[in-house]
Amino acid sequence: MADEPPVALEVRGEDGDGRRYSPSAARNREPIRDALSRLIILPASILEVASGTGEHGAFFTGSLAGLHWTYSDIDPESLVSQDAWQRLDHTGRLRGPLTIDASSDDWLAAETAGGWDAVFSANMVHIAPFAAATGLIRGASRLLKPGGQLILYGPFARNGVIAPSNAAFDESLKSRNPDWGVRDLDRDLVPLAEAANLAQQGVTEMPANNLIVSFRKTA
């Protein structure tokens, strides 16, 4: 995904009202919205983990009636931007932001909200230590309704095979932080998800060698 740097590494624009923007979200929000509209039966309540600027949730709720979206992040600056997007929301279906560290076993306010139809996370599992991915899987297993979905978006390797652009991206991530890196969907994530009662449901190829991956809670 050489042509799609992650927002935490790219220059984020700001509007003056606190809302931040990232070039990658402007490019990928429509294909992700279209994929979500095929996966999620509306009305539905979605918890987003690692919402970044908050652009995705604002765009998705603005174009999918019946979508109820709650932001969260670990990063205070990102939470400020998400709060600004939420305050300017006109749908009444954009909530949060909640402070959530994906790697923790206590997702604070999200634990009491309970009963999420889906947990969505874009571009986090490769730009965080692997503990964020394992915590994300545990949290989704803990908080999803039976039949609810964990939906991931980002670059992945598949069974040891990685696209050249993602291999270059993986190297650059590891040079910034050796604990970051493009994860192998089949070897790193699917076994953990299955052990947490999250059965792999589908994989959709997305632009710039990204995937949308969905898991369904089985018990």
Ligand X SMILES: C[S@@+](CC[C@H](N)C(=O)[O-])C[C@H]1O[C@@H](n2cnc3c(N)ncnc32)[C@H](O)[C@@H]1O
Interface positions with ligand X (CB under 6 A): 6-8, 22, 25, 49-52, 73-75, 78, 100-103, 122-124, 127-128, 132
Of residues 127 and 162, the one with the C-beta less far from ligand X:
127
Q: In whole angstroms, give the CA distance from residue 94 to residue 179.
A: 32
CB of 214 to ligand X, least distance (A): 16
Of residues 74 and 167, the one with the C-beta less far from ligand X:
74
Burial class (CB in 10 A: 0-12, 13-18, 19+), 92: exposed
CB of 31 to ligand X, least distance (A): 12
Residue in the shown chain whose Cβ atom is closest to ligand X: 52
Of residues 8 and 35, the one with the C-beta less far from ligand X:
8
Of residues 118 and 161, the one with the C-beta less far from ligand X:
118
Preceding omega of 129 cis (within 30 degrees of 0): no
Q: Is the CB of residue 86 less than 8 Å from the CB of residue 72? A: no
Number of neighbouring beta carbons within 10 Å of residue 8: 18
CB of 126 to ligand X, least distance (A): 8
DSSP H helix total and E strand total for the chain: 7, 9
CA atoms within 13 A of residue 37's CA, in its CB half-sphere: 14
CB of 219 to ligand X, least distance (A): 25
